[in-house]
Amino acid sequence: MKFTNAIMRLFGKERAALYKVEVQHLVEKGYSKRDIDIFLETYALPIGIFDILSMFARSKLSVKDMEKSLSFLFDRHVILQEMLVKQLMPKCRILDFGCGRGLIACSLALKGFEVHGADISAEALEVANELAKKLSCEPVFHVIKEDELPFPDAYFDVVLCVWAFHEIPLGRMTKTSMELYRILRKMGDMFIVDQEDIAPFETIKNIMNQRGLRLVLEKKLSPVYDHGKASHALMLKFVKEK
C-alpha cells in the first residue's frame, strides 16, 4: 500500500494500477507476493538513491532538469493524454503503435477515444489487458507479427508511436512506415514521440515524407536522460495528405 500511494501521488492512478498489475503478473509466474513485497521494502529505496546519483553523474543534468526527465518518463501517459485531448476529435479511433504494457492506450481510452494498442511482445500485452481491466477501460490489444499490422486500410484517424521508433532497425523502418501509412486515413495525424539523438529523426522525417506524410509540427517536450544519454523528448506530428 505504501508504494501504491507513493506512485499514485507522483504519477497518478494509471501508473499505480500498473504497479499492482506488474506485481500480480510476477505472482502468476510463480513468485511469492510476500517475497516481492519484502524485497521492495528492503532494496527499492537504497537502489533508487544510488541509481539517481549515478544518473546525475553521467547526465550532468541539473536537479530541475532531472526532475523534468523523471516526470516525463514516468508520467508521459498523462502528459500526452492532455496534449492529445486538446487536438483530437472526440471518439476518434487511435492506434498506439508499440504500446508495451498499455499505459498510454488505457489513459486515452479513459478519455472516451476508441483505442487499439499493438506490440510485438505478447507478454507485455498480457499486462496491458490486465491493466485495462483494473482501470475499467476497453482498449483492444493486438500482437504484431512479421511487421504486418492486422487492420484494414485507412482504419485509424490517429497513429501514435511513443518511444517505439528507436527500437526499429533501420532495415525495417521503411516497411513499418508503409504499414502505418496504409492504416491511417487521408488527412489523419501521426504523432511520433521519441528521444533526440537516440531515435534517427532525420531518417524518420525523410521516410515519412517519401510516404506522403507532411511534417506539420516538431516540438521539444522535456529534457530526458534515457538510454545512457541526456537529450530531449521530441514530438513530430505528420499529416497524411495522399
Q: What is the CATH number of the domain that holds 153?
A: 3.40.50.150
Query: Same domain, yes or no, for 55 and 79?
Result: no
The pLDDT-based confidence of 58 (bands split at 50, 70, 90) is very high
Could you tell me the residue range of the domain that residue 48 belongs to?
A: 2-59
> Are 40 and 67 within one domain?
no
**Residue pair 176/159 in contact by the 8 Å Cβ criterion:** no
pLDDT at 22: 96
Q: How far apart are the C-alpha atoms of 103 and 78, rounded to whole Å?
A: 9
Structurally, the chain folds into a number of domains equal to: 2
**Confidence at 210, pLDDT banded by 50, 70, 90:** very high
14 and 125 share a domain? no
30 and 11 in a common domain = yes
Of the three residues 23, 43, 59, the one that is the final residue of a domain is 59
- Predicted confidence (pLDDT) per residue in 70-95, tens digit: 999 999 999 999 999 999 998 899 99
pLDDT recorded at residue 146: 81
Among 37, 59, 81, give the residue marking a domain's end.
Answer: 59
Residue 106: helix, strand or coil by DSSP?
helix
Same domain, 205 and 130: yes
Residue 1 reports pLDDT greater than 90: no
Residue 54 sits in the same domain as residue 139: no
**Average pLDDT estimate for 120-133:** 97
Residues 83 and 33 in one domain: no
User: Phi and psi dihedrals of 83, rounded to 5?
Assistant: -65, -45
For residues 30 and 145, membership in a common domain is answered with no
Pairing state of beta strands 93-97 and 156-162? Answer: parallel
Same domain as 100, residue 139: yes
Per-residue pLDDT, averaged over 126-142, amounts to 97
Predicted confidence (pLDDT) at residue 21 exceeds the cutoff of 80: yes
Q: Are 111 and 208 part of one and the same domain?
A: yes
Cell 533526440 found at: 196
What backbone phi and psi angles, to 5 degrees, belong to 94? Answer: -120, 140
Cβ atoms of 201 and 194 within 8 Å: the answer is: yes
Grid coordinates in use for 87? Answer: 487536438
What mean pLDDT comes out for the span 175-181?
A: 95
40 and 130 assigned to the same domain? no
pLDDT of residue 147: 80
109 and 160 belong to one structural domain: yes
β-strands 156-162, 184-195: how paired? parallel
pLDDT over 90 (residue 227): yes
